[in-house]
Amino acid sequence: MSNRNLMLIVFSVAVAAQLAVPAWMIAGRERTMREGKTFKFRTRPVDPVDAFRGRYVWLSLEPGSVKVQDADKWMANQKAYAVLGTDSNGFAVVNRLDRAMPAGEPAVKVRVRWPNIQQKEVRVDWPGLDRYYMTEKKAPAAERAYWQHNVRTNRTCHVTVRVSGNDAVIENLFIEEKPVSDWLKENAAR
Nearer to another protein among residue 2 and residue 153 (C-beta): 2
- Chain-centroid distance, C-alpha 113: 16
Nearer to another protein among residue 148 and residue 181 (C-beta): 181
Pair type for strands 37-42 and 157-164:
antiparallel
Q: Which amino acid belongs to residue 115?
A: P
Nearer to another protein among residue 67 and residue 73 (C-beta): 73
**Minimal distance in Å, beta carbon 175 to another protein?**
16
**Minimal distance in Å, beta carbon 21 to another protein?**
6
- Chain-centroid distance, C-alpha 70: 26
Nearer to another protein among residue 32 and residue 150 (C-beta): 32
Nearer to another protein among residue 29 and residue 155 (C-beta): 29
DSSP reduced 3-state for 41: strand
DSSP reduced 3-state for 144: helix
Binding positions for another protein, rule: CB under 8 A: 4, 7-8, 10-11, 13-15, 17-19, 21-23, 25-26, 29-30, 33, 55-56, 77, 127-136, 138, 169-170, 181
**Minimal distance in Å, beta carbon 178 to another protein?**
16
d(CA 102, CA 189): 47
Pair type for strands 56-58 and 131-133:
antiparallel
**Minimal distance in Å, beta carbon 136 to another protein?**
8
Nearer to another protein among residue 68 and residue 142 (C-beta): 142
Question: Maximum Cα–Cα distance for the chain, whole Å?
Answer: 73
Which of these, 41, 48, 50, 82, lies nearest to 173 by C-alpha position? Answer: 41
Q: Quick one: which H or E segment has residue 184?
A: helix 180-189
**Minimal distance in Å, beta carbon 152 to another protein?**
25
**Minimal distance in Å, beta carbon 184 to another protein?**
10
